[in-house]
Structure 1
Amino acid sequence: MLRRRALRTAVAACAATAVLATPALAGTGGAGAPGVGDPYYPEAGNGGYDVSHYDIRLRYQPENDLLRGTTTIVAEPTQDLSSFNLDFALRIRSVRVNGAPARVERQGATEVTVTPKRKLREGSLATFVVSYADKPSTVEVNGKTPWKRTENGAVAVGQPLISEWWFPGSDHPSDKASFDISVAVPHGTEVLSNGRMTARTRQGDWTRWHWRMPSPSATYLAFLAIGQYDVHSKQGAFEQPMITAYADGLGDLKGPAEASLERTPEILEFLSGIVGPYPFETQGGVVPAEGLGFALENQTRPVYSQNFFRIGSNTSVVTHELAHQWFGDSVAVADWSSIWLNEGFASYAEWLWAEHQGNGTAQELFDHYYSSYPAESPFWQVTPGDPGKEDLFHASVYNRGAMTLHALRNRIGDAKMLRTVRTWFERNRGGNATVSDFVEHAERVSGQRLDGFFDKWLFSKGKPRVGSETGVSRTAAARPADAPEPKAVEQLNHTHELLARMHNHG
C-alpha cells in the first residue's frame, strides 16, 4: 500500500540520518566533520570524537557580564584526527590538546577548527583545554543570543542551542557526557546548575559553587542561573536530594511558584509508577524573575518562567518538564527531527496527571482537542513526526503529539500501551532514539502493524478520521463545539502557549 511504502521510506531515511548523527561514526578522514549531519542543524555537534566529560570552571561578574572560563573536554577520537571542530561562539584565548598548544581557526559564528601539534589516534584518551573570556549577552548569532543577562546575574537556558554561549564542546543530543560545573561569583550571589552541589567555597570577595552531574547529559540540558535566589535543600522523592530556588523579585508569584515546584516529589512518584524508575540522582527546579519566557527540562533541575504562575499554581508545566526527565533527557533524540519523542510524551503526561487529579480524563481531553481544531485548521498541516526546523515547537508537536499517544492507547489497549511505554524507556534509558525506533518498538510489543496508524498521525497532513484504524472514537467527532471544557484545559492551554514560545536559536 502506498502509505505503508511512504512511511517505510521515511523510517529508512530517519534511520540513516541517525547513523550519520552518531559521533562514533561521523567522519573517516584526517579532519573531523564540522557537524554530525542532523537534518535540521547539520553543523551541530562535531564528527571524529566522542565526549565523555566536561569540566567547566567559570568566573562571572554580573556587574558587566564578563565571563572568564576554562573548560576541559575529555574525549575519545573515533578516527585518526589531524584536526577537529568545537561548537563555540565566545572569544577564545587559547586551546591546548593533550597539554600542547594548538592552532585555532574560527570558521563561522559557532564553528571553531582546532589543529593539534600531533595527530590524535583513534581510541586514545584526549583532552582539549579551552580558555576564553567574553560578554555572552553581546554575542549574537543570526541576531539572537540565548544567554540572558538579568538585573543581578544571568540565565543560560535554551533549546536547541545554548552551550556555545558558555562552554565549548560538541553541541548535539547524540553526544552525551557527564559534567562538573564550577562557577565563582561575587559573594552573596547564588549559582544554580545541574545535579548535586558538591561544595561551596569562599575565596575573598568571591564564592565558588561546585555542581556535578554524573549521568550523561545532552549539552543543551546543562544550564546556569546566576543571581539572587532563595535556595531550598531537602529530601525529595526516592530519598534523593532536592534543590529548588526562587529568584528575588518574584513578588506575589513566588507563592504559586512554590505551590507548584514543591510538589515535584509527588509528581515524580506518579510518573515513575507509569514509566519506571526515575533515571537520575537529584531533582528540583528553578524560577528566575526575568530573562526567561518558557520552561526547559534541564537535566535533574528544570527551569520555569515566572509567567507560568500568573494564573495561580501550575502543576501541569511541572509535570511536563519532569516527564522530560524520562523522555528527552534520559531517552534523548538522535536528531532534532524526532522532537515528538520529547514533546508528545511530556504533553501526554500532563493529560494523565490531570486525570489523576480529577480534572478531566485523558479521553475527555483527547475529545476536546480533536474537536477544537477543525479539519481546515493550519494545526493539522504540521506533521509532528518530522515538523521541520521552523515548526520545531509548533502546537501540533505538543497537542497532536499527545493525541497520537492517546489514539495509540485506544488502538492497542491499555495493557499493551503501558508495556510499550515501560519497555521503551527500559530499552533506551541513557541513550538516543528516533521516531522510527518507537514505531518499530510499538509494533513489536503490540503485535500489530502500526505504520499506517503512525503515518496518519505523525507524517501526514490533515485531520485523522474517526475509526479503529486511527484510534479516534465517535465521541470525539460528535462532541459539540460548545461543550464544557475539562477542568484542566485552561492550565494546559496556558502552559503550551508559553512552551511554544521556545526560541529557536539556529
Structure 2
Amino acid sequence: STTMEALATDELASFDLDFMGLEISAVTVDGIAAAFSRDRQELTITPSAPIAADANFTVSVAYSGTPEPNQDQALFLAGTSNGWLAWGEKIVGAANQPDGAMNWIPSNNHPSDKATFTFRITVDDPNVAVASGILQEVIAVDNDTNTYIWAMDAPMATQIATVMVGEFERVESVAPNGVPIRNYFLPGTDQADIDAFDPTGEMMVYLEELLGPYPYEAYGVMVIPDYIADSALETQSLSTFDDFGAEAIPEVTVMHELFHQWYGNTLTVADWGDLWLHEGFARYSEVLWYEHTGRLDDANALLTAAYEGQLHTALAPEEYAGIPPLEGGKVRPVVDPGVRLTFLVAYDDGVLAVHNLRMEVGDAVFFDILRTFYTENQNLPVTTEDFIATAARVTGRDLSDWADLWVYGDEIPADFPLLSE
C-alpha cells in the first residue's frame, strides 16, 4: 500500500494520480472511503466531500499483484522496460527513470513534483532491502523475515526513488568531508567493481568546492549485474550501477552519478524537454574530473566523441527505427527533441552546449554560473530559459548567440575549441 500526504492548491472535487496495472482494493482520503476509477495509468480519486483549497489531506491506496514492466519509448536503445523489475532470480527492485514509478507506487509521477519518502519493505532472509535515504530500523517479523524502514527526508522525484531487494553485503566508509558512504554489493562481486568507487570521497570534496555542500545525509552505490547495460542511474543518495560485464566500471561514470546528486536530483528540470540541464552538465563533470586529475587528452577525447555522436544521431542509423535522418549539416536541438530522442540528445548535445558556454565566458565566470544556478534553484523546477537568464545575469552579457547555436540551433559548427594547458 501507499499513503501520501498532500496539499490541495485548489479546491478538489477529484484528483488524479499515476498508477498502472496492480489491482486496487481500497482508496481512502483522510481515512474515509473514496470512489476511484482508472483509465490506463490515470487513477482518478473522488473523495466523499471536496477538499478545500490550501487544505492538507492524506490519501491511501491499497493494492496487490505483480507489477508489469512499464514500457517507455524514450528508452528504446536500452530496452523500453522501467519501473519495478527483476534482474535474474535473486534481485528485484525499481529502475524508474523516466516514468516507471507508476507501475509500483501511486504518485504524481513528474520530475517537478517532489516529496519526502518513507519505505517499509518486508523481505525473507537472506535478502536485504535497500532504498533511497537512510536506514532507520530493521524490525524482525519472525525468525526469517524482517521489515526494513528507510527514510529520504529531502525532497525526491519519483524517477530517482529506488528500492532494491537482494542478498546484499554492505561496505562502509566516510568521505573526507565527513559524509557517510555505504555501498551495496552481491557476494562474489569482482574486487575491481568494488574498488571502482574508491575515488568517491575525493570526488565529493571536489564537487563541494565547485557547487557547495553535498545535499544529502549519506551517499553510496549499488551494483546490480545486468542492470542497464554498461550504464548507471543517479538514484537519490544511492546511485545504481550495472557491473559493466567484463569491463571495469568507468571512473568518470562514478563521477557522473555523484554529480547528479546536485544537478538532477536537488536541482531538477520542470519538464523532460530540458533534460540536458541534468545530463549535459553531468557529462561535463566527466570532462572536469579528467581535467582536475591531469588527463586533458581524455577530456578532449570525450568532447570530440560527443561531437561525433551528435552527428551520428542526426544521421539516424538503422537502430533508430522510425526516426528520419536529417539533411547534411543539420543536428537535433538539445531542447524538446521529442520523446524517443530525449536521452540520446541530452548527453552529447548537452555537453557541447555546456562546454561552449565555458569557452564563451571563461573559466571564472563559467564556474560562477554553475554554482549560482544550483544554489538559487535547489528543489525548484528549472527550465532552459531559467538557466540562460541566470547565465546572462552572472555574466552581464547577452548570450543569445551561444544559445541560438548550441541550445536551440539545428546546425552544428565545423569545429569548436577544445581545452588547452
Give yes or no for the alignment of 1:169 onto 2:121.
Answer: no
Conserved 8 A contact 2:210-2:371? yes
Identity over aligned residues, as a percent? 29
Q: Which of 195, 198, 204 pairs up with 2:133?
A: 195
Conserved 8 A contact 1:137-1:145? no
Judge which range, 241-250 or 363-372, deviates more: 363-372
Conserved 8 A contact 1:386-1:458? no
Give yes or no for the alignment of 1:76 onto 2:7.
Answer: yes
Q: 2:150 is matched with which residue? A: 211
Cα distance, 1:377–1:100 mapped onto 2, change above 3 Å: closer
Conserved 8 A contact 1:331-1:428? yes
Conserved 8 A contact 2:306-2:351? no
Q: 1:60 is matched with which residue? A: none
Q: CA separation in 1, counterparts of 2:370 and 2:253?
A: 21
Q: 2:27 is matched with which residue? A: 95
Equivalent residues in 2 for 1:316-355 (5 A)?
316-355=252-291
Instruction: Give the letter for the 1:135 counterpart.
Output: T
Per-residue deviation at 1:361? 5.2
SS in 2 for 1:146: strand
Q: 1:315 is matched with which residue? A: 251
Instruction: Give the length in aligned residue pairs.
Output: 396
Per-residue deviation at 1:236? 3.0
Per-residue deviation at 1:399? 2.1
Per-residue deviation at 1:232? 1.9
Q: Which of 17, 20, 27 pairs up with 1:86?
A: 17
Instruction: Give the letter for the 1:173 counterpart.
Output: P
Q: TM-score, normalised by structure 1?
A: 0.74
Q: 1:17 is matched with which residue? A: none
SS in 1 for 2:25: strand
Equivalent residues in 2 for 1:60-459 (5 A)?
70-89=1-20, 90-108=22-40, 110-137=41-68, 144-150=81-87, 151-204=89-142, 205-248=144-187, 250=189, 254-293=190-229, 294-307=231-244, 310-360=246-296, 364-365=300-301, 368-369=304-305, 372=308, 378=314, 381-394=331-344, 396-459=345-408
Q: CA separation in 2, counterparts of 1:449 and 1:86?
A: 41
Per-residue deviation at 1:463? 1.1
Structure 2, unmatched stretches of 5+, are 74-79, 316-329
Q: What per-residue deviation string (whole Å, max 9, x for no partner) do you get for residues 283-340 of structure 1?
A: 0110012443331101111100111x63224211111111111111000000110000
Instruction: Give the letter for the 1:228 counterpart.
Output: E
Cα distance, 1:237–1:111 mapped onto 2, change above 3 Å: farther
SS in 2 for 1:179: strand
Per-residue deviation at 1:235? 2.5
Cα distance, 1:424–1:269 mapped onto 2, change above 3 Å: same
Q: CA separation in 1, counterparts of 2:107 and 2:31?
A: 17
Structure 1, unmatched stretches of 5+, are 1-69, 467-471, 477-506
Q: CA separation in 2, counterparts of 1:146 and 1:371?
A: 32
Conserved 8 A contact 1:351-1:365? no
Per-residue deviation at 1:272? 1.4
Conserved 8 A contact 2:82-2:99? no
Judge which range, 117-126 or 236-245, deviates more: 236-245
Q: CA separation in 1, counterparts of 2:154 and 2:379?
A: 8
Q: CA separation in 2, counterparts of 1:367 and 1:290?
A: 28
Per-residue deviation at 1:374? 9.0
Conserved 8 A contact 2:307-2:352? no
Cα distance, 1:249–1:167 mapped onto 2, change above 3 Å: farther
Per-residue deviation at 1:133? 0.6
Judge which range, 379-388 or 357-366, deviates more: 357-366
Q: TM-score, normalised by structure 2?
A: 0.88
SS in 1 for 2:149: strand
Per-residue deviation at 1:437? 0.6
Q: Which has the higher contact order (CA 8 A, sep 6+)?
A: 1
Q: CA separation in 2, counterparts of 1:331 and 1:257?
A: 29
